[in-house]
Amino acid sequence: MSLSPYLHTVDLCVLFYCRESGEIKLLLNQREAEPFAEHWALPGVVVNGDVQDLSLKDAVERLRASDKVGLELAWCEQVGTVGDAFRDPRCWSSSTYYLAIVAGEVSLGERQGWFSLNAVADGRIRLPFDHNLIVAAVLERLLSKSLYSSLPLMFLGHEFSAPQATAIFSVVLGRPVLKTSIRQRLLKLTEAGYLRETGRKKPGEGGRPQATLQQLKPGAVYFFDRSFAE
């Protein structure tokens, strides 16, 4: 009995905080092969018996190091898996997809581009397969986890100021966040050994110098005992 064709992919939703536009951007690749050649889509790789990956983690690293991504990730976590007979016109397929974050300015290849995360998640920018639904699920994870953790700080890199922290939480949550609430969280992170004051200052809004904090545990997220929803 012949086996029906089946595809499994690992797909990355790589996010970047664009300070100029004040929004979160999503990395997309312009596909070279059919189906949907020349369409913008999430970067992904096929996982099957013909590759040397021993785990999904290996597949994620293979994708990260490829020219589809090629960026250092400040954060990466698995969000979910989807699959059915309709999402790919070629055959039954499934995808394990991830939320990833890059910090700071990066250079992209000619077939890469940054697009508005919200515009992709709500369908204003249409993607092939079910990538819009995947992006919407990743956005929901980002929003929900940011209510009770330090995850948004991953967008800021190793050193940042309190106003920058306030700005990124406001952008991610889609609403203004009180400066006092952020300062309380930064104090909690400092007491827990996740941050320290650098003694340095950097230009802020209006050119005024702002004291900076340094992340002491890069790649680690702190979970607060209360969320912004409370």
Per-residue pLDDT tens digits for 108-166: 999 999 999 999 999 999 999 999 999 999 999 999 999 999 999 999 999 999 999 99
- pTM of the entire predicted model: 0.95
CA distance 102 to 15: 6
Residue 2's pLDDT is what?
52
**HSE-CB for 10 with a 13 A CA cutoff:** 24
6-18 vs 92-102, strand pairing mode: parallel
- Nearest residue to 194 via CA among 185, 182, 206, 202: 185
- Domain 147-215 classified CATH 1.10.10.10? yes
pLDDT of residue 3: 60
* DSSP one-letter code for 57: H
- What is the rounded distance in angstroms from the CA atom of residue 13 to the CA atom of residue 138? 7
Identify residue 66 by its one-letter amino acid code.
S
For residue 43, say if its preceding peptide bond is cis, omega within 30 degrees of 0.
Answer: no
d(CA 130, CA 64): 21
Q: Which residue, chain included where needed, has tokens 């004040």? A: 22
pLDDT value of residue 1: 44
Record the tokens describing residue 198, joined without a space.
């650098």
pLDDT along the chain (230 residues), means of 10: 78 96 97 96 93 94 97 98 96 97 92 98 98 98 98 97 97 96 97 97 81 96 88
Angstrom distance (rounded) from CA 215 to CA 30 = 34
Q: What is the CATH number of domain 6-145?
A: 3.90.79.10
Q: Give the closest residue to 169 by CA, choosing from 148, 141, 199, 198.
A: 148
The terminus-to-terminus CA distance of the chain in angstroms comes to 57
- The domains of the chain are located at 6-145, 147-215
**Dihedral, CA of residue 30, residue 36, residue 38 and residue 44, to nearest 10:** 20
**Is the omega angle on the peptide bond into residue 5 within 30 degrees of 0, that is, cis?**
no
